[in-house]
Each structure stands twice: as C-alpha cells, then as structure tokens.
Amino acid sequence: MNEIAVLVEGYARETGNGWIASSAATLVKSNGKKIVVDPGCSRKKLMSALMNEGLKKEDIDFVLLTHGHTDHALLSGIFERAKVLTAEEIYESDRQEEHNNRIPGTDLEIIQTPGHCREHCSLVVPTPKGTYVIAGDVFWWTDGEKQAPDVRKEDSAHPEEVDMKKLMESRKRILRIADYVIPGHGKAFKVPK
C-alpha cells in the first residue's frame, strides 16, 4: 500500500524583480521505500515537514525531480544517501543509468509529461483513496490565482522553453489517469470526472 503526504505546498509569488517560490515537496512511501518528489528550495520548511513525519534526511531512499528548474531541484543534494531520478535516469553518486520509468522496488510509474520543459516527468501513485499524480509544473498557479485545471492555461514562467501543444497533451493525460493531482505550485486537487 502506497502512502502520500504533501510536505510543503508549492507556492509562487512574483516580486518586483523576481519570484518568491518553491515547488510542492511530496513524500511517498512505497514497499518500505521513502521517496521525496521535488524537494524544492525552502530548506527550513522541508526539514521541519520531514521532522513532523518522524524522518531525517538520511531516511530518504530516492529523490525524484520532475524537472531541473531550481525551485524544484535545489535541495536534492541534501539527501546524501538517496538515489536521484530525473525524467530518464537514476543517479547514485556519479553512476548513472536508465530507470525504465519505474522507481526501483516499488509499483510507482514515472510518466513523461513534456511541455513546461522538454525533460519533464510526473509520478503516478496508486493509493487506497485513489490514484495521485505528482505533476510538477504540468499544473501550477501563482499565490491567489484561481485554481482550475484548464488544459489551455498559458504557461508563461519560462516562455523560451514552453511547448504549449505538448503541455496541453500532458495535462489531458494526467487528468485521464488521476483522481487527485499535486501541482508544482498551488493546492492539491480532486480531478472532476
């Protein structure tokens, strides 16, 4: 049985010359393995949330990065014992190999969800409550923005990287699979069926 907990709810607020932002950091427990998806960049919030779960950074087996943007990936290095997964690869120290879209030793599937950037993935987590998809920035909202899973919503955060056609396809795919979605920034939501 898989368990899921949002450690840090993702947030994003534009300032005069930049952003105050960190991705959702999510803990998944599966087959005795502990996985952090997108540890984000707020070390204080992440460590406090892990402590509230009764965990230390040494307890984490895997870190999955939905993509390499700093607000999602900055803290991946604090988990010295964990193997790090990207859209296609798994790293253990300097050793790299393909992961075949699975987190080893679990039933968790990594799906390719390009659009926000070329190398973007999401994690499918079946639970007794329903299927969750940890979607990274396939879905995201700024603080105070009305959350509605609109597949056509423009993604303007990284205009040089965004492929809206692929992003809309990734959004549709996730909405077909998921009962619940954890977006990169904003509140988790139940998929309207």
Please report the pLDDT score of residue 46 as a whole number: 98
Share of the chain above pLDDT 90, in %: 84
**H/E element holding 4?**
strand 3-8
Q: Domain containing 170: what range?
A: 3-190
DSSP lists the bridge partners of residue 121 as 112
Q: What is the mean pLDDT of residues 187-191?
A: 96
Give residue for tokens 């994003």. Answer: 12
pLDDT of 130 over the 80 cut: yes
**CATH number for 128:** 3.60.15.10
Instruction: State the chain's mean pLDDT as an integer.
Output: 94
Please report the pLDDT score of residue 152 as a whole number: 80
What is the band of 141 on the pLDDT scale with cuts at 50, 70, 90? very high
* Beta-strand pair 89-92/95-98: antiparallel
pLDDT of 160 over the 90 cut: no
Q: What is the mean pLDDT of residues 118-123?
A: 96
What is the band of 154 on the pLDDT scale with cuts at 50, 70, 90? confident
pLDDT 10s digits, 50-91: 999 999 999 999 999 999 999 999 999 999 999 999 999 999
Q: How many CB atoms sit inside 10 A of residue 26's CB?
A: 26
pLDDT of 36 over the 80 cut: yes
- Number of domain units in the chain: 1
DSSP lists the bridge partners of residue 142 as none
pTM score: 0.95
**H/E element holding 175?**
helix 164-177
Residue 91's closest CA among 138, 26, 81? 81
Q: Please list, in sequence order, all residues whose beta carbon lies within 8 angstroms of the beta carbon of residue 170, skipping any fewer than 6 positions away.
A: 113, 114, 115, 116, 120, 122, 138
